[in-house]
Amino acid sequence: MGDFSHYDVRRVMAVLPHRYPMLLVDRVEELVLDERISAVKAVTMNEGFFQGHFPGRPIMPGVMIIEALAQAAGVLAMESFGLAGSGKLVYFMAIDNPKFRNPVEPGCLLHLNVQFTHKKPRVCKFAGQAMVGDQLAAECEFMAMIADPPPSV
């Protein structure tokens, strides 16, 4: 069991291949191997999607909230299976029952809470909730596959 008390963005980038502007996890607040993760995305006006979604009323697109939840799940899976630094990738396979409850605006801290609902070495299922304060912003269930990256072209 590792020490997850200082899990900042540098450590997130050591586990996930995502980089700006697609990296949507800024830090991990809690990680319980084989169970759950609580991570944070600091939503700022500098996000590229706010230029067009929507001018005069910036709201984080729901698909980006789901992607943030999936990235948090990727950290959970990679750490739980001891794959950090292995080059393996976590691929989205399915999204079930997405629900969007409250808008996410610039200046929010988006709390990403994800737990395993089914865990196998290659395919995992998760349940996730994105919160702003005590308000539910979005929730969904999703499935991901752990695999080797595609060969370089």
Catalytic annotation, pick one of 6, 18, 53, 118: 53
Active site residue 118: no
Beta-bridge mates of residue 31: 37
73 and 128 Cβ atoms separated by less than 8 Å: yes
Rounded to whole angstroms, the Cα distance separating 118 from 126 reads 7
Rounded to whole angstroms, the Cα distance separating 41 from 26 reads 5
CA distances from 114 to 3, 55, 58, 125, 148 (A): 19, 31, 25, 10, 23
Token representation of residue 93 = 């396979």
Using DSSP bridges, classify how beta strands 135-147 and 123-132 pair: parallel, antiparallel or unpaired: antiparallel
* Residue pointed to by tokens 């999936």: 70
53 and 59 Cβ atoms separated by less than 8 Å: yes
Catalytic sites, residue numbers: 53
